[in-house]
Amino acid sequence: TIWNLGSINADHVYSVPHIPTPGETLAATALSRGLGGKGANMSVAAARAGARVAHLGAVGADGGWMVERLRDHGVDCTHVQRRDGPSGHAIIAVDAQAENAITLWPGANRDIDLDAVKQALDRAVSGDLLVTQNETNSQVEAAALARARGLTVAYAAAPFEAGAVRAVLPHLDLLVLNEVEARQLSEALGTSVEDLPVPHVVVTLGAQGCDWIDTASGTRHHVDAPRVAAVDTTGAGDTFTGYLLAGLSEGLQMPEALTLASRAGALKVGRHARPMRFPRERRSSGRPSE
Ligand code: ADP
């Protein structure tokens, strides 16, 4: 099982004639809502790849539809917590040139109850995997606990924050970064990624593929990305990481898992996101919208 202590966000996407300027009030021409957040994206990708995924995270009272969406993708949501405040959400304005401006509210993603996470991880067994990113609270505590239990611990250093990575670093087996994050980390720590105290470091390089650094042996391996015509690079890293973890949890060796992840990343950038729409209200079933 892949245990994902990860964010769950409602992405509210507003199509606008231009990005609003300070003081301006602007009517949007279209509105759509979709499931987002790096955590949820990774869970969906890993589940799509065929892995067993249990999501550890939180939504507010307004987040029942997101939990249902995750479940529809086959993600185990038994341990997704309900909090009193709003769910994490992003207000995304997109203009005709696909330029965007994003306001993010972490909401329930930064209000996850650590004790409940610990209880959930009591069910984890050796051979399981924990992944976290930098969009929740309690990343370090969960990583330390999972490591002590014998799980493989992976971390995606996004959104990048030097202090957050530095704190979680001692507990990691695998660190995944993109090129920009790798540069930021090297600058912040004053070391190259080769010298990080983490057994495996994967640096994604967009269309150039990725590098895997096996720090124990000090070797760097490159994996090419399939050539595709990129139409939308949003979330490529999340898809890549989800498939990478799925491959590893299914017993693939790193090179094979990276090949799988690279294919998934390339497929993702090669197609437009499915048009988002408001999820149908499920009131007709008589179930609480939970
Ligand atoms: P992020 O989305 O975090 O910035 P990258 O842009 O490095 O991450 O993309 C992650 C992975 O997705 C890459 O390592 C690669 O395998 C795949 N990928 C991204 N962009 C392309 C592209 N233009 N062509 C082919 N594969 C791509």
pLDDT digits (tens, 9 = 90+) for 45-99: 999 999 999 999 999 999 999 999 999 999 999 999 999 999 999 999 999 888 8
Any idea what the CATH number is for the domain that residue 45 is in?
A: 3.40.1190.20
pLDDT tens digits, 148-205: 999 999 999 999 999 999 999 999 999 999 999 999 999 999 999 999 999 999 999 9
For residue 232, say whether it is annotated as part of any ligand binding site: yes
pLDDT tens digits, 106-123: 999 999 999 999 999 999
Question: Would 30 be classed as within a structural domain?
Answer: no
Measured in residues, the chain has a length of 290
For residue 178, say whether it is annotated as part of any ligand binding site: yes
Question: Would 89 be classed as within a structural domain?
Answer: no
Percentage of the chain beyond pLDDT 90 is 88
Question: Would 256 be classed as within a structural domain?
Answer: yes
Question: Which residues constitute the domain of residue 190?
Answer: 2-8+38-82+110-273
Strands, E assignment, 167-245: 174-178, 200-204, 210-214, 219-223
The model's pTM is 0.92
The dihedral formed by the CA atoms of 210, 216, 219 and 224, expressed in degrees to the nearest 10? -20
The pLDDT assigned to 273 comes to 60
Closest residue by CA, ligand 1 atom 10: 237
Q: What residues contact 285, with CB distance under 8 A and at least 6 apart?
A: none
Verify whether residue 238 is a known catalytic residue.
Answer: yes
* d(CA 236, ligand 1 centre) in Å: 5
Question: Would 100 be classed as within a structural domain?
Answer: no
Split into its structural domains, the chain has a count of 1
Burial class (CB within 10 angstroms; exposed 0-12, middle 13-18, buried 19+) of 252: middle
Question: Would 187 be classed as within a structural domain?
Answer: yes
Question: Would 200 be classed as within a structural domain?
Answer: yes
Q: Is the CB of residue 231 less than 8 Å from the CB of residue 272?
A: yes
Question: Would 202 be classed as within a structural domain?
Answer: yes
Contacts 24+ apart (CB under 8 A), 258-264: 258/202, 258/210, 258/212, 258/223, 259/223, 260/49, 261/210, 262/209, 262/210, 262/223, 262/224, 262/225, 262/226, 263/226, 264/45, 264/49, 264/239, 264/240
Question: Would 132 be classed as within a structural domain?
Answer: yes
